[in-house]
């Protein structure tokens, strides 16, 4: 079972087992700020030694309890700056909260994905957590890219993206946030597509590892990334 139980957070899961992704290499989750002491202990016991925070700096809330000493935090925002035309356009269209914006970001800002891939390749030995706020879209797009590199099937990647809606629903309900799968479906329907079709189109257009190499990842960094993530 890829779902992990780390006290304080609900949307924690290992990408291992999808394609050739190695178990323990990449864990995706929502922001870990609500992890309890036992939650952090569980992360440490699982082998996590690096956290990639994919959010803008002004989104970062204080942790409920101190993080485990020895877990490094690397900040790699996955959204363009908020004063860019891209951010303003997509904030109006889908609030950067659906797969609709994924192809545009990959085309216009590939460097954010490459920066995250480089950070993973260069991380200290141990598992790497990737997270944004709810672990849905920024984390979802980076997960999609990493899983494409690992040769995961489109249906595996789509199922992993959709899993967040189930895992986060109790938290969203607690906060009084409307059903997010319904919200995302409405956005995509208004643009003549579906979650599945939108993600499939993105996956099929993303040639890996060519995308990474064409956008600045060095061959030695790609080798390090593959060695870290992939089973033989």
pLDDT at 52: 98
Q: What is the mean pLDDT of residues 1-24?
A: 96
Number of domains in the chain: 1
Q: Looking at residues 61-82, what average pLDDT do you find?
A: 93
**pLDDT at 93 > cutoff 80:** yes
CA end-to-end span of the chain = 21
pLDDT at 194 over 80: yes
**Is residue 174 situated within a structural domain?**
yes
State the Cα–Cα distance between residues 71 and 127, nearest whole angstrom.
10
Q: Calculate mean pLDDT across residues 116-135.
A: 97
CATH code assigned at 154: 3.90.190.10
- What is the structure's pLDDT at 1? 65
In-domain check, residue 1 = no
Element (H, E) at 106: helix 102-108
Rounded alpha-carbon distances, angstroms, from residue 24 to 3, 44, 49, 50, 163? 12, 11, 11, 12, 18
Give a yes or no: residue 5 inside a domain.
Answer: no
pLDDT digits (tens, 9 = 90+) for 47-68: 999 999 999 988 888 899 998 8
């Amino acid at each position: 079972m890829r779902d992990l139980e780390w006290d304080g957070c609900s949307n924690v899961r290992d990408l291992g087992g999808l394609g050739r992704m190695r178990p323990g290499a990449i864990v995706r989750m929502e922001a870990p700020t609500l992890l309890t002491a036992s939650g952090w202990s569980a992360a440490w016991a699982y082998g996590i030694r690096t956290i990639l925070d994919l959010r803008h700096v002004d989104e970062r809330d204080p942790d409920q309890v101190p993080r485990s000493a020895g877990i490094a935090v690397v900040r790699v925002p996955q959204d363009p700056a908020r004063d860019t035309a891209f951010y303003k356009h997509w904030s109006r269209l889908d609030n950067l909260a659906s797969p609709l914006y994924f192809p545009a970001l990959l085309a216009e800002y590939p460097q954010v994905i490459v920066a995250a891939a480089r950070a993973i390749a260069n991380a200290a030995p141990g598992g790497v957590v990737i997270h944004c706020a709810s672990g849905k879209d920024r984390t979802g797009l980076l997960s999609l890219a990493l899983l494409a590199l690992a040769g995961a099937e489109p249906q595996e990647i789509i199922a992993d993206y959709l899993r967040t809606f189930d895992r986060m629903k109790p938290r969203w309900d607690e906060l009084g946030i409307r059903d997010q799968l319904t919200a995302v479906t409405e956005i995509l329907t208004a643009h003549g597509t579906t979650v599945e079709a939108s993600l499939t189109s993105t996956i099929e257009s993303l040639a890996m590892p060519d995308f990474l190499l064409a956008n600045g990842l060095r061959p030695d960094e790609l080798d390090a990334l593959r060695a870290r993530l992939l089973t033989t």
